[in-house]
Structure 1
Amino acid sequence: MKLLREFEIFIHTAQTGSLSDAARLLDLSPAATSIAIKRLEAQLNTALFIRSTRSLRLTHAGEVFLQHCLPAVQLLQDGCRAVQAGDQLSGLLQISLPSDLGRNVILPWLDEFQRLYPQIKLRVAISDRLADIFRESVDLALRYGSLPDSAMIALPVCSDNRRVLCAAPSYLVQHGTPKQLSDLAQHNCLCFMLGDYVYDRWRFRALGQEISIQVSGDRVALDGDAVRRWAVAGFGIAYKSQLDIADDLQAGRLIRLCPDLEGEAAPLNLLCADRRQISPIVQALQSYLSQRCANLLQAISVD
């Protein structure tokens, strides 16, 4: 990681305004520090510092390079720590999961995650209400949709996830299969709460146009898992995240309806309140969940 070391020398020299001070902080000789700066300037084919016998200050090119160098070095250092930690990743991971996905999909995945990193401890809260991230002792929340609070940090887990219309074979045998969205008016639609309101206006895209339709039914749940269970039991049509019902689609417990329609986007993100919470453990979890979600969507993709 020779280049990373040279970047670190450049940053410390720029921040201290002194080659000798930078050398002392990095436990190097002033000569080695000077050689590293000269080598970096030669690689960039530009002067980074204006030198005199009494002072050292950045050139304009040096100021521009410093702005890019700082985040780059931070990212590289984080990556080095994550790789070097490897199986030694340890600590407490406090995470809030959505009801349906968390209970039926993520929990078994977390079992495997702990087998990969046995020194990690888990504290899990399961709820569809994002407010839990503030009320309970959790550091992260895995949630669908866009950021509810612009001050929060979102780490993408599955950006291309969407909702799909689905129903059990038993329901379709008894009530018929809707061929177009207008047919939903004659069907029992199973709804859930999205925040503080009932999500009963379902949105789609077809031929580049946004389409929305008002639906109704005899059941509404605060819990996404309840809606999936009702659908599997044959009580009506649901509009669910592909990730939530992937296993049901593969097993034939649910049938995808109107497959030519593009369902509403339901990106899955890990949310946290502060970038400093993005530890090697969190980065490892993000990478692990992203791969598992990608594999799950691939398994149910329609050719």
Structure 2
Amino acid sequence: MVRFEDLQLFVRTAALGSFSNVAREVGLLPGQVAAAIKRLERDLDVRLFARSTRSLRLTAEGDQYLPFAREVLDTLREGQDRVRRESTQLHGLLQVSAPSDLGRNLLLPWLSEFRRQHPALSLRLLISDQVADVFRDPVDVALRYGVFDDASWVALALAPWNRRVLVGAPHYLERNGRPQTPADIAQHHCLLYSLNGRAHDRWRLGDQTVQVTGPLYSNDADIARRLAVAGEGLVYKSWLDVHDDIEAGRLEIVLAQYQGESTPLNLVCPHRKQYSPAVQQLHALLRSHLDPLKQELPPLASDPGLIA
């Protein structure tokens, strides 16, 4: 009989491509993972992986079997969720992915509150500006900025009103002056970071898009925010990421009369997960914290000719 744990290890091995990587993730020895795969191959009477001293890859049969294994695991997890749905006490593990700024500066205290409400629930948080892959990364739900159009996931709105703003530290603006038009930004130090694997170097303000360069670049968006607070230049960020700095006077909005790019925040998850009690209650808690922040979003300047 096929074991549930063997199926889990097969799916993770297919995603990570290594017995050692899977062993580190789940706290087993590589030999134990390899033994589980051999046992599954024996139960199925088929070879799932082609092994060599340097590589591990799915066979044609393994590739054909993989989506069925995923579906079986998903069905079993959904059954567990439904059995527990009537209980007010959440159990198990919820794995959450979030962008770097949001995860460090807003999400951590909210997740701590969620854990206090549900002490039997374990949380695993993945902080990264790279888009999480639901099959490769062990993620149940992800907080993501922007429009999401993957048909296999559902986007639950958190902050559809959010937008980007151009900001700089007061002492930077005193030294270098304030840009008066979007074209002036090119004369300033612009703080760049990677977004979805590429440099975020095209900044849209109103109906104008400015190609920017700068002396400082990071693969972590939170580093760009910190550099801006330190007075190293201008940064174009989600308002949610910088609103604490604006409220505290560490950063000021520049060119407020030009509307920044819309950047809605969503909680995204596979369709089967949207009815999970843990996902529904996490979504409700996040909305309870984010909805009041909408009132703090500065209104656009009054010149309608500058707003796209």
Aligned partners of 1:299 and 1:106: how far apart in 2? 18
Deviation at 1:154, TM superposition (A): 1.2
Aligned partners of 1:278 and 1:220: how far apart in 2? 40
Match of 2:255 in 1: 258
Deviation at 1:203, TM superposition (A): 1.3
Match of 2:212 in 1: 215
In structure 2, what residue type is equivalent to 1:129? Q
SS at match of 1:249: helix
CA deviations on 1:223-280 (whole Å, 9 max, x unpaired) are 1111101111111000000111111010001001111111101111112233345301
Match of 2:244 in 1: 247
Match of 1:115 in 2: 116
SS at match of 2:129: coil
Distance change in 2, residues 1:218/1:148 (3 Å):
farther
Q: What percent of counterpart residues are identical? A: 48
Aligned partners of 1:166 and 1:133: how far apart in 2? 33
Match of 2:204 in 1: 203
In structure 2, what residue type is equivalent to 1:122? L
Aligned partners of 1:243 and 1:187: how far apart in 2? 23
SS at match of 2:253: strand
In structure 2, what residue type is equivalent to 1:275? R
Match of 1:147 in 2: 148
* Alpha carbons 2:166, 2:234 under 8 Å: kept: yes
Aligned partners of 1:141 and 1:110: how far apart in 2? 13
CA deviations on 1:167-192 (whole Å, 9 max, x unpaired) are 01111111111122111021011111
Distance change in 2, residues 1:151/1:252 (3 Å):
same
Aligned partners of 2:204 and 2:167: how far apart in 1? 14
SS at match of 2:156: strand
Aligned partners of 1:128 and 1:137: how far apart in 2? 16
TM-score normalised according to structure 1 size? 0.67
Distance change in 2, residues 1:121/1:299 (3 Å):
same
Output aligned runs, 1:44-123, within 5 Å.
Answer: 85-86=87-88, 88-123=89-124
Aligned partners of 2:175 and 2:285: how far apart in 1? 41
Output aligned runs, 1:273-288, within 5 Å.
Answer: 273-288=270-285
Distance change in 2, residues 1:133/1:252 (3 Å):
farther
- Among 229, 232, 241, which residue is 1:232 paired with? 229
Match of 1:43 in 2: none
SS at match of 2:203: strand
Match of 2:51 in 1: none
Matched, 1:293 2:290: yes
Matched, 1:128 2:129: yes
Aligned partners of 2:110 and 2:298: how far apart in 1? 21
Aligned partners of 1:275 and 1:286: how far apart in 2? 15
* Alpha carbons 1:133, 1:141 under 8 Å: kept: no
SS at match of 1:130: coil
User: Mind listing any 5+ residue stretches in structure 1 that lack a counterpart?
Assistant: 1-77
In structure 1, what residue type is equivalent to 2:197? D
In structure 1, what residue type is equivalent to 2:111? L
Match of 1:70 in 2: none
SS at match of 1:262: coil
Aligned partners of 2:285 and 2:253: how far apart in 1? 27
Deviation larger for 230-239 or 134-143: 134-143
Which structure's CA Rg is the greater one?
A: 1
Distance change in 2, residues 1:253/1:125 (3 Å):
same
Deviation at 1:122, TM superposition (A): 0.6
Match of 1:189 in 2: 190
In structure 1, what residue type is equivalent to 2:106? V
Aligned partners of 2:151 and 2:115: how far apart in 1? 31
Aligned partners of 2:135 and 2:193: how far apart in 1? 22
Aligned partners of 1:172 and 1:150: how far apart in 2? 44
In structure 1, what residue type is equivalent to 2:181? Q
Superposed CA RMSD: 2.1
CA deviations on 1:133-178 (whole Å, 9 max, x unpaired) are 4332211111111226332221111111000000011111111111
Aligned partners of 2:221 and 2:140: how far apart in 1? 22
SS at match of 1:153: strand
